[in-house]
A = this chain, B = another copy of it.
Amino acid sequence: MNTSRRQLLALAGIAPFATLAAAMQRAQAEGYRFGETPGEAWDIAAKAHEDLMAYPGLVMHGAEEIAMVCYEGMTMLDLVGPQYFFASMMGARVHLVSADPELRPVQGDTGFAIVPTLAMADCPGVLDILFVPGGTMGTVRAMEDDGLIDFIADRGSRAKHLTSVCTGSLILGQAGLLDGKRATSHWATRHLLPEFGATPVNARVVQDGNVTTGAGVSAGLDFALALLAQIRGRPYAEAIQLQAEYAPEPPFDAGSPDKIDPALGEPMHGMFAAALHAMREAAANRKQR
């Protein structure tokens, strides 16, 4: 593999969509020729890029500041689903924000850790998107972490879009950001929303003013696409939906309490009893901000 190619492949540190465009632009600037096809692949990609930019209503470039709050015990899929779509917004800066100035890895609730990219102290004051993922016991700890809740309350007071997936909405509520707002949460915790100041809505994605909340875990994909369309236009969102090949075909139809056999759904709800109680305790201790 020659040096030029190594340089080219070294560009793969961002989302595929952005990667190919960036690689293409840099390669062309360097007069780079790819493998045995003299520039052909780049000519195709260059035309593709121009065609997309010319598509009515598609906003190809932006400079959004996006902060995704990371905390110990968060559910990684809550974060990584939306992160895929946010990172596909060419020009946007997607920060994984941690309270730890040393940016030590943050352990999720499925047995692995991610490395945050920005300390809360360094997070831009005015954000385009503030995002909070959910979890179970880790989310209870987050609700009881004054530093974390203060950060969310502060950035939330100025963010253009206040967002969450799963039980992340309860954290937004703990920070006083959902008072009087309609919102959703994981099906097992949606009924707790009033204790966090919000009006529960049984929907996959709920928007009320500048607050957009998603339902449990996998709802993050639907949530992110809806938000992406708002910010970059529906054609951009559809292009990224295609990139993600998001044409879901669940093998079963058991993804909500009203669809699953109650003999499975009721005990699954019961499994959350301890977490629900702890969340209620946290809500009762909610500080006014």
Residues of A in contact with B (beta carbons under 8 Å apart): 1, 5, 8-9, 11-17, 19-21, 23-24, 27, 34-37, 40-42, 44-45, 47-49, 51-52, 55, 58, 73, 75-77, 80-81, 83-84, 87-88, 94, 96, 105, 107, 109-117, 135-138, 140-141, 144, 166, 186-187, 204-205, 215-219, 221-222, 225-226, 229, 234-235, 237-239, 241-257, 259-261, 263-278, 281
CA distance A110 to B15 in the complex (A): 4
Among candidates B13, B248, B251, residue contacting A111 with C-beta atoms closer than 8 Å: B13
Sample of 13 A–B contacts (CB below 8 Å): A8-B137, A9-B138, A16-B135, A16-B136, A20-B271, A48-B271, A55-B264, A218-B248, A221-B250, A222-B249, A242-B254, A242-B256, A246-B250
Q: Is there an interface contact between A48 and B267, defined as CB atoms closer than 8 Å?
A: yes
A41, A81, A110, A113, most chain B CB atoms within 10 A? A110
Smallest distance from the beta carbon of A239 to chain B beta carbons, Å? 5
Question: 8 new A-B pairs (CB below 8 Å) besides A12-B109, A20-B273?
Answer: A8-B137, A15-B111, A47-B270, A52-B264, A186-B245, A217-B245, A242-B255, A242-B264
Q: Is there an interface contact between B274 and A23, defined as CB atoms closer than 8 Å?
A: yes
Q: Is there an interface contact between A51 and B260, defined as CB atoms closer than 8 Å?
A: no
- CB neighbours (8 Å) of A246 from chain B are 217-218, 250, 255
Q: Is there an interface contact between A270 and B45, defined as CB atoms closer than 8 Å?
A: yes
| Chain B, Cβ-Cβ closest to A47 | B270
Smallest distance from the beta carbon of A104 to chain B beta carbons, Å? 10
Q: Is there an interface contact between A109 and B41, defined as CB atoms closer than 8 Å?
A: no
CA distance A229 to B250 in the complex (A): 12
- CB neighbours (8 Å) of A187 from chain B are 242, 245
Among candidates B41, B110, B257, residue contacting A84 with C-beta atoms closer than 8 Å: B110
- CB neighbours (8 Å) of A243 from chain B are 216-217, 268
- CB neighbours (8 Å) of A117 from chain B are 111-112
Q: Is there an interface contact between A55 and B263, defined as CB atoms closer than 8 Å?
A: yes
Q: A242-B254, A264-B238, A281-B35 are in contact. Are A12 and B136 (CB under 8 A)?
A: yes
Smallest distance from the beta carbon of A232 to chain B beta carbons, Å? 13
